[in-house]
Amino acid sequence: MEDEIIPVDEHLVLYSVHERFAGALYGLVKRNQAWLQQSMDWPRHVNSAEDIRKTLQGNYLLHHRGYAKMFIMYYDDQPAGVISFNQIEPTNKAGWIGYWLSQELQGQGIMSRALQAFIHHYARSGLVRRFAIKCIVTNQASNHVARRNGFTLEGRLVQAEYLNGAFHDVHLYGRIIDAEDQ
């Protein structure tokens, strides 16, 4: 199975998931754990590089079977975050996008550049035409990324995500890009 690389610009590259990234990604998650837990549940379950390695192994299989796609973002040759299709619906050509970026790299347009490269790469391939982002309403940064990148707010799901002991409302964003428009 061949790994994928999506070059974004001279500073930013997306590398498809592989267990060789476990140590670097673990370090990044640990440095950002408290901050990440404000918007996502999974960081509190990361206790070792082995936890990350197992997750990467599972995602590697899903990536190469076409049911999900996970990329590690590298900015200036350092791990910066993750962008992924947490789920791909092949029949509907729909992909559910998830992303996170290290706190110290926020506000530099890195996530927007990664997102644009990611969605256009998969629109051109014909694998995905409907791109969806779901994020809790209070995660202003993720909501801004979706809106800045041409996603339309399609709805609000009430108490749809359990996080830190409470249910939260979720915004659902969508964008359609057909392969022939690329």
pLDDT at 182: 66
Q: What is the pLDDT of residues 59-115, one digit of tens each?
A: 999 998 889 999 999 999 999 999 999 999 999 999 999 999 999 999 999 999 999
Model confidence band, residue 30 (pLDDT cutoffs 50, 70, 90): very high
Using the predicted structure, report yes or no on whether residue 2 has a pLDDT greater than 80: no
Q: What's the mean pLDDT when you consider all of the chain?
A: 94
Among the ranges given (36-40, 84-88, 92-96, 158-162), the one the predictor scored with the smallest mean pLDDT? 36-40
Q: What is the DSSP code string of the chain? A: ----EEE-SSSEEEEE--GGGHHHHHHHHHHHHHHHTTT-SGGGG--SHHHHHHHHHHHHHHHHHTS-EEEEEEETTEEEEEEEEEEEETTTTEEEEEEEE-GGGTTSSHHHHHHHHHHHHHHHHTS-SEEEEEEETT-HHHHHHHHHTT-EEEEEEEEEEEETTEEEEEEEEEEE--GGG-
Give the mean pLDDT of 19-46.
91
The correct CATH number of 5-132 out of 3.40.630.30, 3.30.70.260, 3.40.1280.30, 3.40.50.1220 is 3.40.630.30
User: Of 74, 67, 77, 72, whose CA–CA distance to 52 is shortest?
Assistant: 72
Indicate whether 26 pLDDT > 70: yes
What backbone phi and psi angles, to 5 degrees, belong to 155? 170, 175
The pTM is what? 0.93
Rounded mean pLDDT of 143-161? Answer: 97
Mean per-residue pLDDT, 48-62: 92
Structural domain spans, the chain: 5-132
pLDDT at 5: 96
- Confidence at residue 1, expressed as pLDDT on a 0 to 100 scale: 61
Is residue 155 over pLDDT 90? yes
